[in-house]
Structures are given as structure tokens and as C-alpha cells.
Amino acid sequence: MQFKKKILCIGAGYVGGITMAVIADKCPEYKITLVDIDYEKIDKWNSDELPIFEPGLDEIVKRRRGKNLFFEKDMQKEIKEADIIFVSVNTPTKNFGLGAGMAADLQFWEKTAREIRRYAESDKIIVEKSTLPVRTASAMERILSANDKDVHFEVISNPEFLAEGSAIKDLEEPDRILIGYKDTSSGRKARDEIIEIYAHWVSKEKIITSNIWSSELSKLVANAFLAQRVSSINSITPLCEKTEAEISEVARAIGMDSRIGNRFLNPSIGFGGSCFKKDILNLVYICRYYGLTEVADYWEGVVKINEYQRERFVKNMIDAMFHTLANKKICLFGFAFKANTSDTRESSAIYVAKRLIEERAKLVITDPKALNNAKKDLRGIDQNVDYIEDPYEASNGCDAIAVMTEWDIYKELDYEKIYKTMNKPAFIFDGRNILDHKKLFDIGFNVYPIGKPALVHF
């Protein structure tokens, strides 16, 4: 079949994989190919069991795979053939050298730029999809243009705002599409080509453009603002626990102010996920680099409150369970960093699990999708950890349940039945405030919500 345009995406992870599947679905006349250095991942994308779980993704991949959506291993051939290359490789926080624990590790990303330069034989548009520190596009451009071939690379920034668990909907009905470009004739031409892709299903007024630096910075700032909301509501929870205020009532009251809005005000054990912490730390690092200490400190506070909230949750458990967890059996309900995903990156559950292991508790971890990742996260320290998918079986014989992830299934369990099989006194620590606390208390549990007074029998 003759395709109108050939799009390649380097990096077949959450962002690349899902975004390309949706583009393939919306633009049947384009050929969309994904490559990845991880061949196992490519094999999985070509199998019945995709490498990631995301509601609605299986159907789209089944619909488009082999028609205009392809997962391939020969990067050289695919780079040569592509008109547009999306770069969606991971840029984790650096864990070595200058900027360790703060700055982005750009080695995969730079390697990709060099590979594009090496194999390309014709002009290409390079679309930066990974979240990168501001001004990375110019570094990308410098690497790409250091070639002795007669090839022009036009770099565009097109950050992705999808959230896991709702990614397909976020892509199909985005709040906005942001395209950063260089205001030159080739830059404008490239901008229009990228607009043309999204215009297949997104209305023109939602496709906005800006200069490249604003586009890169917007992604970091959007995530910093969202994370800040979670830290803001979480920062009020200890105050509620000390007084007679209830965080859900406070959240409802402030959320009805249309200037504040009611979303992202759910108290929790702290935010997780691959983006929030990493992007804030990136922002902090850039601010420090430019000598903006006050600004850096301000945003760093968002991460500090998150760490405080996680530790506070563990301390509450220790205090409530008579100041020792040694040999007590604790069941973690959920391990994913949020519901409807198998992803556990930066999940608060990892932190809580590690701390409970330090306290010598025995753990049983249950999660409908994330147990394989949980096993990887706790590898080497999980001698006293069991992984059991069925929550009834998992909680059997435990002293406490701690809700880590807001999966719907945990709201619908038969807690009378669970209570009967647990050690007494039985505790529930609801790190997501998703359960019916009064009902649990009436059954006999000692209940510890977040940002509300505990309901205890002694």
C-alpha cells in the first residue's frame, strides 16, 4: 500500500506506544512505525500480550497493527525511510555525576540523535516527545546539524500531556496540542506538517503553537502545577487529623471556587508516576543553574511535602499498631502509582513497602495489574513478601490492610468476610480515602483515613 506519509517513533514505551497507536487509528493514510532498543518490548507489541496495560489500547493496536501500525527492530532502515521522526525515549533522573538526583539523564536521547544523524539520507522533521529540560531541542539541533551530508533536520517540540489510565481519552480528546517551532521558513513548514497530523481529529483552536523554549518549559510547568495541587491538599491533611476538620469537606468547599476548580484535590499517600518528581527536579535544577535559588526552593517544597506525606503514613501505622510492626503481617491493597495502570514507577507503595520491610513487618502485596512490576521493584529485599492477586486470600491472616492504589475493586469487597479472616485487632489504613470508613468501623476495624480523625475501638 502507498502511504501518504511515513512516521517513525523511536521509543516504544508508554508515551510513544500509546500516542502512535492513536495517530495510526486517526490517520489511516499514514504509515506509523515504532522501534526500540529493547527488542523484547517490540516482540511484546507484536504479540497478544502488549508490554503495557492501558484501558482501550488492546483494541486499537489489534485494529491497526499490520495495516498502518508496525513494530520493528531495524532502526537503520526505518530512520532512512521516515519523513517525520518522533523521539520518545526515556529521560530518567540522572543517578551519577553532575546533577545526580536532579538533572535529566540525556544519554539515551543523545544516542538517538546521533543515530538519526548517522542513518538519515534525506531531510526530516524531528519531533521531541520526551519531556526534556528547557533548551534541549537546541542541543538536539546542534548534534543533528553536525553532519557532512546534505540533509536538513528541523526540530519541533511537541510535549505529550497524556495521563496513564486515561491515556486514550486524553489523546482522543486533548485539552490542547502544543507545538513549539523555530520561526524560519523551514520551521513554519515543519510546524504545519505536525499540525496536519493532529488536525485529523483535534479542532484547530485546540492546536496551539509557541516558540520551542516555551513549549519545552510548559510541559515541566504543567506537571509542576499539577503535582503542587496534590502536595497542597496533602499538606492540609495532618492539620485535619489534629483538629475536627475533614479533608474531603475542605476539598469540596475550595474546589467549588471556580478559580480553584475541583480536580486534583484528592488527598493521598503522595503522588507517584514517572513524570511529576522528575519534572519538578528538572525545573529545580534549571532554576539553580540560573542562580534562581528562591524559585528552586519554592518548587522543591512540592517534592518535600510528598516525601513527608509518605513518611507520615508509615509513622501513623507504627504509632497506631502499638509502636512496633516487627513480625506483623500487613497487606498492601494496590501497588500501581494510580488506578488503571500496571505502572509502578515512583509509586508511593514502593516507599511504604521498603519502610515496612525495614520495620521487619511481613508484607502481602495484591494488585490486579502491577504484581510483576512490584516484584521487580522489591527484588532482593522481598524475602518476607508474598504477592497474591486475590485480595481475600491476600488479607487472610493479616494484622492490617493499607490501601495504596485507588482501584475500584477495593471499594466493592466484602469487608465483613475479610474482617473475619484477619488477626485482631484489625487495622485499615486508607491511603486513598476510597473506603466507607464508618461501615468498616462498625464491622470492627480500627480505621485510619487520610485527613480525617481515626475511628478506633480502644
Residue 230, interface with ligand UDX (CB under 6 A)? yes
Nearer Cβ to ligand UDX (85/222): 222
- Residue length of the chain: 458
How near is the Cβ of 269 to ligand UDX at its closest, in Å? 8
Q: Are 14 and 30 in contact (CB under 8 A)?
A: no
Distance from C-alpha of 230 to C-alpha of 272, rounded to nearest angstrom: 11
| Beta strands, E only, 336-405 | 362-366, 385-387, 400-403
How near is the Cβ of 160 to ligand UDX at its closest, in Å? 6
What is the SS3 assignment for 216?
helix
List, by residue number, the catalytic residues.
275
Q: Are 410 and 435 in contact (CB under 8 A)?
A: yes
Nearer Cβ to ligand UDX (89/325): 89
How near is the Cβ of 442 to ligand UDX at its closest, in Å? 27
Question: What is the contact mask toward ligand UDX in residues 11 to 50, using x (rule: CB under 6 A)?
Answer: ----------------------------------------
How near is the Cβ of 51 to ligand UDX at its closest, in Å? 16
How near is the Cβ of 377 to ligand UDX at its closest, in Å? 15
Secondary structure tally for the chain: helices H, strands E: 17, 14
State whether the Cα torsion 357-359-362-365 is positive or negative: negative
Residue 162, interface with ligand UDX (CB under 6 A)? yes
Residues within window 268-297 making contact with ligand UDX, judged by CB under 6 A: 268, 271-273, 275-276
Residue 174, interface with ligand UDX (CB under 6 A)? no
Q: Are 416 and 395 in contact (CB under 8 A)?
A: no
CA dihedral 279, 281, 287, 291 (to 10 degrees): -170
Give the range of 25-33, 60-68, 83-91, 258-266 binding ligand UDX by CB under 6 A. 258-266
Nearer Cβ to ligand UDX (115/246): 246
Residue carrying the nine cell digits 507484536 = 46
Q: 425 preceded by cis ω (within 30°)? A: yes
Under 8 Å CB-to-CB from 264, ≥6 apart: which residues? 226, 229, 230, 233
Q: Are 92 and 278 in contact (CB under 8 A)?
A: yes
Residue 302, interface with ligand UDX (CB under 6 A)? no
Q: Which of 19, 215, 266, 395 binds ligand UDX (CB under 6 A)?
A: 266
Binding residues for ligand UDX, how many (CB under 6 A)?
A: 19
Q: Which of 54, 160, 367, 430 binds ligand UDX (CB under 6 A)?
A: 160
Q: Which of 161, 213, 298, 308 binds ligand UDX (CB under 6 A)?
A: 161
Give the range of 161-169, 350-358, 359-367, 388-396 binding ligand UDX by CB under 6 A. 161-169
The per-residue DSSP string of 70-126 comes to EEES-HHHHHHH-SEEEE----PBP-SSTTTTTSB--HHHHHHHHHHHHH--S-EEE
Task: Kindly state the DSSP code that residue 408 receives in the 8-state scheme.
Answer: G
Nearer Cβ to ligand UDX (139/221): 221
Nearer Cβ to ligand UDX (9/120): 9
- Cell numbers placing 137: 531541542
Q: Which of 129, 338, 355, 362 binds ligand UDX (CB under 6 A)?
A: 338
Nearer Cβ to ligand UDX (187/272): 272
Residue 414, Cβ density class (10 Å: 0-12 exposed, 13-18 middle, ≥19 buried) = exposed
Nearer Cβ to ligand UDX (68/131): 131
Nearer Cβ to ligand UDX (226/426): 226
Residues within window 47-106 making contact with ligand UDX, judged by CB under 6 A: none
Nearest residue to ligand UDX, scored by beta-carbon proximity: 273
Q: Are 157 and 115 in contact (CB under 8 A)?
A: no
List the 362-366 sheet strands across, edge first: 385-387, 362-366, 329-333, 400-403, 427-430, 446-448
How near is the Cβ of 224 to ligand UDX at its closest, in Å? 11
Q: Give the DSSP H/E element, type plus range, for residue 417.
A: helix 415-421
Residue 164, interface with ligand UDX (CB under 6 A)? yes
How near is the Cβ of 222 to ligand UDX at its closest, in Å? 6
Residue 342, interface with ligand UDX (CB under 6 A)? no
Give me the residues that bind ligand UDX (CB under 6 A), please: 160-164, 223, 226, 230, 264-266, 268, 271-273, 275-276, 337-338
